[in-house]
Amino acid sequence: MALEKDMEYSRLSEQFKTLLQRGAAELFEDSQNRMTCPELFESPHEIVEEDLRRFFLGVQCGIVSIVRGARFNTLDRRMA
């Protein structure tokens, strides 16, 4: 059970990182005059597993929408 949970967290974390990398590439593509590279900066902060689960559940249920540049909107705020 613990191994399954670790694998799930690892998969969600990798999926989120991939989303951020794609978003960084899109932002760079759209803003090369303001950005020097599309690389992500490493962060010492870890995203809590439950936050990842909620984020992707929100995407799956249509409560969270992701737009170009890895920006996201929720149903309770204005669209980007």
pLDDT per position as a tens digit, 12-46? 999 999 999 999 999 999 998 998 998 888 888 88
Distance between CA atoms of residues 19 and 48, nearest Å: 17
The kind and range of the H/E element at 60 are helix 49-61
Helix-helix angle 2-30:49-61, to 10 degrees: 70
Res 3: pLDDT: 47
* Cβ atoms of 80 and 73 closer than 8 Å: yes
Q: Does position 5 have pLDDT exceeding 60, yes or no?
A: yes
pLDDT per position as a tens digit, 53-80? 999 988 888 888 888 988 887 776 665 5
What's the pTM value of the predicted model, to 2 decimals? 0.77
Looking at the chain, how many residues does it have? 80
